[in-house]
Chain A
Amino acid sequence: MMSFSKEQKIIEIGDLKLGGQPGELPTALFGTVFYGKKYREPDAEAMEGVREFIRRQNELGEMTGNPSVIDIYLGDEENMASRIDLVLEEIPEKQPFSIDIPESEIRQTALKHASEIGISNRIILNSFNLAAEPEELEVLREHPPGCAILLGYNPKDFSVDGRIDMIESGAGYIEKGLMEFADEFGIKNILLDTGATPFDHNAAETLRSIPVMKNKWGLPTGCAIHNTVESWLWMKKYRKEHKAEYLTCDAGANALPVMLGADFCVYGPIRNAGTVFPFVAMIDKFVAEGAEDYFGVAQPENHPRRKLE
């Protein structure tokens, strides 16, 4: 539906291709595994459930053409290696995966581990952000992942400019911009996450930042807008009795960034893949048709526009 005068880069990590002009490539969808109390302990039944979720998301990716990215949530160090191993067992050798690790120390351990077992090039770091401590910066320099998502979350300024400032200068939190650090570390593939914020905390600027960042850097851009829905106070009560309606909002929110040019969505728990993949595939069809009709942007055969006629 829109086209940028700035060249839009397409990046390739293994068999994952994303970026380009809106409508050119399908939206990549990141579904998160191991998030939630259920996965705190390595319970065999829960782990088998995770394997099934991974297979299901990959099947949906094949069916729709929307690239499937398994996003591994790691909240503790003890289970880190076994959880990465589980995902590696389930996905094809060329498929990259992302690691979502809130704590800096565990991120460092995971980056070193990935380097030791020779899979750094398959890692998408989700994310490189303002909370990176000096030790983490050193680890990133020594063991750069194949791809990093730079997070625009800026606690003191949720405006578009504040989010850009985080990536461009570090916004006073760290000595340089995330982009400059990533470049120094030799991270070859960069994705931009605009940093979802809750309602009443400039939530819409999460979305506005997408075309602005794409226009500025020409890099694949997206966000985890489901977090805004999840933190919606009214919905927290309503969803207790209206789960289906909540899931509609949760999946439906992904239409917003995609309509504004997003190249990927981090859509939340992987158990929602069955709803999210067909939904985003439909949005991709609209966007792609508009892109070809008006801007002459053609799509590859594996695009939902071609696969889901």
Chain B
Amino acid sequence: MQGIMNNLVRATVLLAIVASLSTVARAESSAATKAMSMKSADAAGMGMDSMSMRATETKSIAPIVVGKPTRIEVKPEMILFATPMQYMNIVVSGFYADGRVQDLTRVATLATADARVARIQEGIVLPVGDGKTSVTVSVGDFKASIPVETVGHGKPEQVSFLNSVQAALTKQGCNQGACHGSPSGKGGFRLSLRAYDPVLDIETLVREAYTRRIDLMDPAGSLLLLKPLMEVAHGGGRRIKKDDYSYGMLRDWIAQGAKVDADGAATCVKIEVYPKNREYLRPAHVQQLLVLGHYSDGSVRDITKLADYLSSDEAVATVDPDGFVVSRERGETTVLVRYLDKMETTALTFLENVPGFQWSNPPESNFIDKFVFEKLKRLQIAPSEVCNDEEFVRRVYLDVIGRLPTIAETEAFLTNKASEKRSLLIEQLLASDEFPSFWALKWADLLRVRKTKISEPGVHKFHHWIEQAVRENMPYDEFARRLVTASGSTLSNPAANFYRTSADVNDCTETASQLFLGVRIQCAKCHNHPFERWTQDNYYGIAAFFQRVQRKKTTDADDLVVWTARTGETTQPRTGKTMKPWAPLKGELDLPGEDDRRDAFAAWLTDPNNPFFAKVEVNRIWGHLTGRGIIEPVDDFRESNPAAHPALLEALAKDFVAHGYDRKHVMRTILNSRTYQLSSRRNEFNKDDVKYFSHSKTRMLSAEQLLDAICQVTGVPEKYAGLPAGTRAVELPSPDVDNYFLKVFGQPARETACACERAGESNLSQALQMINGPLVHGKIKDEKNRARVLAASGKSHSDVIKELYLAAFCRVPSAPELKAALDHIAKSGDAQRGLEDVCWAILNTNEFLFQH
């Protein structure tokens, strides 16, 4: 495929465009974005290495060489077996003189001093009888001793339904959302999502359908086991093996009568993961995790085999069901460990000495570069060079004011000799009149400015309010406070539309959480969040702040009056409890009876110590400017979705707060950083990086940017019904203008407050729109088309082509490009048609379609 594409690229400009467009058509997330070549002519020269997908093949696990550790560390430090079913894995770490650490679990040998108390089986310590002894761990020349005590060994022990069976069903994926955990179950068998409702589950497992699922006479013959074993055909496929620990738990539980836990049986109060955060340097590349459950009876049990694991970056490292981590390539990952409703994370960094890598010591423009480069250096990823002026001018115009620079603006910048010209341009754009409308668009998306929600006059008023806030650079805390505490007529106080688009208390809870805390809390409405700590109680605790918001219609159908009642409490639907207002990390709030609770929420929200508020906004700005949030998606903050660069995010947020929540200040800082200004061309040492900002991220223009750019390059503006001529797509107050092109390219319908509503993926419809759609076709054929007008004015074809290149790419064509275009015009016989083809071809290049 690459070879053929190369030939195509070389063949003619036209074909090159088609080839590259086909890539757009199949574009999927980062892999395809990576594959985008920038300049059609350069592409051949650059080689198509960037086409190769991220390496997916596994580096095999290398043998662990003990070497010469200076000390070893064993975990746990002591073992107390309080019931016969307990067991304990021992994790062994070696520390070396050069500061390295390595997991030696798999090469350590274990022995017990008294086999009547404890024994070793396949690296696991098991109780044998009451008494005290110790386990000796030997690795290399080192020995460590772990005291062991066994008590109450003779007592019979039931397999715990809650602690073992529910965990096993969760670990094997039986009760996940796509399977039996979906609200309607699968195949008539429904479990609660990730076991949040044990009362329902035991009923379903044991008694539903006349005990169909279990066989007390032949436990191993239970349908509950035969199905996931695929011994009886199972729509969900193979889910368990007979030698899985979970299998033994399920079977033994059935053998013991499939009973509920006795009243007062121990429950898990917290889990602990070892090691907690660690950095490795190859050859160290594996880690056996140890997960300990702390129970209400004081016992500490090994639950490594019952917990389930999720690696935040599987390309960096994978975790198997036994908690064994294997690194695949250098980078960082956070392992999320879940056991029933408990979760913990551990951040693991895998470093590697990359042959030939040398740190180039690039200059740092500001603190952003310090953080980014420090990490790149550690991960041995070389940042790209700084982008050239042509790339910069195009990039910064698109990012800051949402449009391409005019030819005059481009030329002015390119010919400017001032050394500070980039900073000057940044200042000029931040102060420009087009800045507010472009950034208002982003917030209008999130605030759901749409006729159906807030009426047509409401759209204009609210949009204007947002735009004005950007124009006067309203501090972000002020902006949020005004929205959250707004009351009155939505027409006279447009900020009150916040409570019009969020039409009920749940919507308010979810929108406020999403926008200002970066938390997608919707899941917790019906059950505890499956990937995060957020519980159902938290959801209704936040809801309590908004419970009293009331909405009243007026005689004017376009208006709505928002006010707050003096009473009104929130009830948690599952428990029936009345919820006090609750704020993350602050807990329950005791608020005076008749106060508007929203004031308290706003005060908590905008408190400089609020760990979420500032971060979410700087992350959102960072995401807009670089194409990828430090946390991505930008409004999905959770432990299982760690920041690519927590320190950088922290620093940006601190700087933001210190500068009075000045959003322009944040933008200025980012735009002036070398990191922002890096080229999108990758080098040998950063070609696989997609998350550490070692190069600029190529990304397709947004729907509005693209449409405006097409209009600008062709010189044929688009008309929108009911709006003044000359209105640009980025200035549209709402998506109510029915523009098919914008929709196809991902303009959101503003149904939710989620940033994800703006679709980032490319699709075939887009390709067809660009290739053959009426909008593009019409603009190319229009008699006011730039190429036509220029040609009619007597300019040479060569000059016309140069202007087109400048307008679309902010650069002049290379000699081969110019020649290819001129040749095509000559061959086509009809010069006008030939020029139209070239114009079409330009619009269909990745270099035009993408921000780079």
Asked whether A and B interact, the reply is no
